Structure 1
């Protein structure tokens, strides 16, 4: 029996990281490229239509290799996610040194349902990650848009057929669904859910438990337990992606909804009505595209949710119609309001990126411009919408802080430098002054020391670091 082939340290490191996320394609940073080896290399070569080569893996053997330039990662990552692949990104955790293996670690697992990067998302649509649990003949469903922090929960007791569950999943169209259902159970349902087009992920049944919870208003205790289990499955799945930040929950707020509060639309009817998705070649041949005149991405997402789940609450419908009538009657204000809203960036997604510590200086500049516009909105609302003014107030301190600390045109990355105004901090201003006028400072120090010591030939020398 031949001894196992000894792999090179770099290849061995790659496959050790791969073993931690076997379901994911592993892209490891190697200099100016992100590389994949073995089966992962073959997979991305087919999916991305890039060259498949080979690399020496030690002991005279070679392993398949494919890679993409680091500056083009976002483009290739989007193509992989669109094909429902899971991608683990391993970064270099230290500066490369000659003849030494660079330490690498997985910093992010990108899945279709856990996207927060704006270049991977459709600004006008929510990108939901759903978790489905089954407990005591009851389905618990929890779904979350990780990019905004919004999450929703509902339950389907045994007296309801699986059709209601399928209708709800068709409505929210999650990009990914985490199954917490015993193997072999509800096999027909599994097949029908798979046909919805979402990526199906699993979490070991031992990975979640039904915690003691209080009943959610409007739901029975069993339904509440099923939703709590689904929420735990969702949170555990999110914890595996590397997105979570201690003290900053990914799910900021959870709303519970009963299907009875909205018009029930079965998947077949929803498909043929072309509410949000077109059946033909023209992607804009939908009710949503026809109605969407929203000035912001946030408004478009809200409109899409309301089209997909029309309310049957008469009081709520009449309240919305009254608000609409108030805006229709004030044409001039409505025009100014629309133009002001157009200056607003995607506040929901920016706030979530800040919470996850993934915001860059330009995100903060977008937040500053949005808060400036928000400060003008209360004066543009008619008196009938006075109740809408309060949530827009109270951000003056945040805006003042952004003006005081962030430069007018910040760089794309904090590491590029120059994002913070020097005058915002005395110590920072001193460091910047030293960096920009080091020679002048040394000359001044030399002159002072000559005067203090009386040595006219005294020189202050320095070494470049």
Structure 2
């Protein structure tokens, strides 16, 4: 038994779109069958039904209403699925057999064009890659909503991963033979799509003209062919591919962006509390997207940075002009996406009016910028193309308050088209004629309740109640419909007028849609000019945003050093300062002269070490995106990269502990950092045993000092490391101050030169509310650890264990046995040998100094680590 013709049609279409849900149009519903139905019913939480498909068993089926489909599609896309929209492409009234259906568009995570599914101030990027035999990777990123295309050549998968994360790519296009485990290898949640055709589409050859490398051309062509295959419509708004180089901007790996909370917070992944939230005083959606792009890729070119800073400074000085700019930008809509929708063919009349209103503000902006005494801003104003022709075209054609739909009519102005005006005249006058006919018929027949009505089935009619039918003249009225209490009639005169009115209304609708389509095509010819204008507006919007934020928060213009001096006076954390009340934030100086490479930061938990480190990095980023910085004075080098390891995070899914994450992030920084980088390392080595941690921490500091020599902020609770300033000339100790008052710790949050005397960990535990008995015991153990030999502490602690009621005797014996076994397996630290000299051999002056120093050591007053350090120094002198 074969499937029904309709199900056969469905299966034929589905065969070409196996990786997508097929929304199959049947009447007022989009239906799904078979596996699509089973999966969609769960994902969308809709009822699963079944229907007869011509075979013995019924076919699984579910559907969504046509008018509500956008919301269901949005849910599927957000979950990483694709949706193929299959519509009827012929009139059912004229169709022979099954109505012809075709897929008119495939909606994917990277090709969304519906505003309901897009975030105004975030791009929706689609990526494409091509791998070469030389292990290079061609990488292309594009936002279909704005038409931008950016390309670069990457050297390894790690760089690819970082770029994918930077752009927030939702979908990645690869060759069909590409390993399907690619997303797993990249450790990313990205939808993979496949495209084999890399031939350059003839109509879009101009897009790859700027590219010279074949791998980049191939990668762009892969993306273009995928878009042509899935979108099935004009792509004229796509812009020429822009070749960028990763090393042209500051490199910020994903860990650093997360740790510094540049675009979202670590805890809840929200914008509130991030740097982009703080700096976002933009007035337009495209300005908001530009701001995010600048933050994620700070500049390295000092001239470009200084140009932005000069513009911000000028806008701060010109308060009234800046206020006028903000007022004008308030009336500017998202021109980038509006232009994209014009080209894409899904723009509606209201959106064209939004484009017109946006263009109305351009002459205003140009006039304002003429009065600002900063050449870059004047030049920006001069470059703005008012596109007056587009404004006048829309103004002439579209009414001020048009409907949302293109099929409702009443969107084209009177006077724009003569034929349309004639149709409207007939329609409007015809309705007036109907009203006049109703009045006349009442007078002629004397029936005051007589009325003329209209419905879509019967058209116009004269309705008379049955009690009044006897008053109608004979022969003139033709019965059309019988009701319970009335009869409906038509007359030859009314019938002729009905034909003229309905024909005019129908023609009017069709003509309005035709005129709107022609207008859209005319506007599309200005795509390139409008896109350039949108870029200038978004650029200005971000600059005015920086000016507003800088003035409101008392930021200063940064200076840049060429001798790698880092000096920030009264530096503040911009976000924490903003969310704190009553201006309670404590500012600190960050001073690292040319010869200072490393600040070793000690101090208590909750004292502000991490904040001190983060605010330094944020100041550097803000300076290099062209914004003023939170300080009273700031001189910084231009950093090529920033690496951070701040806070403890497990990656449980991949089975990586906090300590492993520490080591991986440290390894990445040490491998990729240069002399011009900034490294922030917070509490490295805390995830393992004390001696392991100290050894690793010290080795990392020494490696940075000897082999990288970049600016580094290294915070630690290992006070044993503070002696390094004696052996590492480019390291300086600083500490976060805290004082004890009446047994309680007071955090001063002030960073001073020198080392901290203690960590105040027990005091922090007290603030957390741990039991007092526990805190007392911890205080006792701490005193023992600081004052007694390790052997004695171990013995006493073991005695505590054996005398404790909660620990049985067998456990105590087990502990003793394990300690004996451990001691028997312990290797000697030094080989047995005679260390004394023959009697007839005298000591040198240096050896005598070492012996005297050794005699003077107060070993009972030293910690084990202090003793080891002293031994190391003495041995170094002898060598």
- Aligned counterpart in structure 2 of residue 142 of structure 1, from 135, 140, 143: 140
Secondary structure, counterpart of 1:345 in structure 2: coil
CA contact (8 A) 2:284 2:330 kept: yes
Shift of 1:274: 2.4
Once the two structures are superposed, the pairs formed by residues 106-145 of structure 1 within 5 Å of their partners are: 106-137=103-134, 138-145=136-143
Deviation readout 1:405-441 (Å, 9 max, x if unpaired):
1001011111111110121111111122122323778
CA distance in 1, matches of 2:274, 2:176: 35
**RMSD, matched Cα:** 2.8
CA distance in 1, matches of 2:232, 2:315: 40
Shift of 1:242: 2.4
- Aligned counterpart in structure 2 of residue 330 of structure 1, from 318, 322, 327: 318
Shift of 1:169: 1.6
User: Which residue number in structure 1 is paired with residue 219 of structure 2?
Assistant: 230
- Unaligned 5+ runs, structure 2: 436-491, 503-879
CA contact (8 A) 1:365 1:406 kept: yes
Once the two structures are superposed, the pairs formed by residues 346-357 of structure 1 within 5 Å of their partners are: 346-357=334-345
CA contact (8 A) 1:23 1:86 kept: yes
TM-score with structure 1 setting the length? 0.86
CA contact (8 A) 2:183 2:189 kept: no
User: Which residue number in structure 1 is paired with residue 419 of structure 2?
Assistant: 427
User: Which residue number in structure 2 is paired with residue 6 of structure 1?
Assistant: 2
Between stretches 132-141 and 314-323, larger displacement belongs to 132-141
User: Which residue number in structure 2 is paired with residue 167 of structure 1?
Assistant: 162
CA contact (8 A) 2:171 2:192 kept: yes
The answer on 1:152 being equivalent to 2:150 is yes
Closer/same/farther in 2, CA of residues 182 and 277 from structure 1, 3 Å limit: farther
Between stretches 432-441 and 326-335, larger displacement belongs to 432-441
Q: With CA pairs under 8 Å and 6+ residues apart, which has the higher RCO, 1 or 2?
A: 1
Aligned length: 433
User: Which residue number in structure 1 is paired with residue 532 of structure 2?
Assistant: none
- Aligned counterpart in structure 2 of residue 53 of structure 1, from 42, 49, 55: 49
CA distance in 1, matches of 2:57, 2:181: 46
Shift of 1:268: 2.2
Closer/same/farther in 2, CA of residues 99 and 261 from structure 1, 3 Å limit: closer
Closer/same/farther in 2, CA of residues 144 and 218 from structure 1, 3 Å limit: closer
Once the two structures are superposed, the pairs formed by residues 260-271 of structure 1 within 5 Å of their partners are: 260-271=247-258
CA distance in 2, matches of 1:49, 1:303: 38
Secondary structure, counterpart of 2:379 in structure 1: helix
CA contact (8 A) 1:294 1:300 kept: yes
Closer/same/farther in 2, CA of residues 85 and 250 from structure 1, 3 Å limit: farther
- Unaligned 5+ runs, structure 1: 444-458
User: Which residue number in structure 2 is paired with residue 41 of structure 1?
Assistant: 37
Once the two structures are superposed, the pairs formed by residues 264-413 of structure 1 within 5 Å of their partners are: 264-281=251-268, 283=270, 284-381=272-369, 382-384=372-374, 385-413=377-405
Closer/same/farther in 2, CA of residues 324 and 243 from structure 1, 3 Å limit: farther
CA contact (8 A) 1:108 1:241 kept: yes
Deviation readout 1:263-306 (Å, 9 max, x if unpaired):
11222222322222333226123221222111000000000111
Shift of 1:210: 9.1
Shift of 1:243: 4.3
CA distance in 2, matches of 1:189, 1:265: 23
The answer on 1:191 being equivalent to 2:184 is yes
Which is greater in Rg?
2
Shift of 1:154: 0.4
CA distance in 1, matches of 2:181, 2:28: 47
CA distance in 2, matches of 1:210, 1:104: 29
Between stretches 429-438 and 74-83, larger displacement belongs to 429-438
Shift of 1:35: 1.1
Secondary structure, counterpart of 1:433 in structure 2: helix
Deviation readout 1:244-269 (Å, 9 max, x if unpaired):
31xx4352232111111111122222
CA distance in 1, matches of 2:248, 2:210: 11
Shift of 1:91: 1.3
Closer/same/farther in 2, CA of residues 70 and 391 from structure 1, 3 Å limit: farther
Shift of 1:352: 0.9
Secondary structure, counterpart of 1:61 in structure 2: coil
CA distance in 2, matches of 1:189, 1:30: 38
User: Which residue number in structure 2 is paired with residue 249 of structure 1?
Assistant: 236
CA distance in 2, matches of 1:295, 1:117: 22
CA distance in 2, matches of 1:89, 1:390: 45
User: Which residue number in structure 1 is paired with residue 505 of structure 2?
Assistant: none
User: Which residue number in structure 2 is paired with residue 449 of structure 1?
Assistant: none
CA distance in 1, matches of 2:147, 2:178: 30
User: Which residue number in structure 2 is paired with residue 94 of structure 1?
Assistant: 90
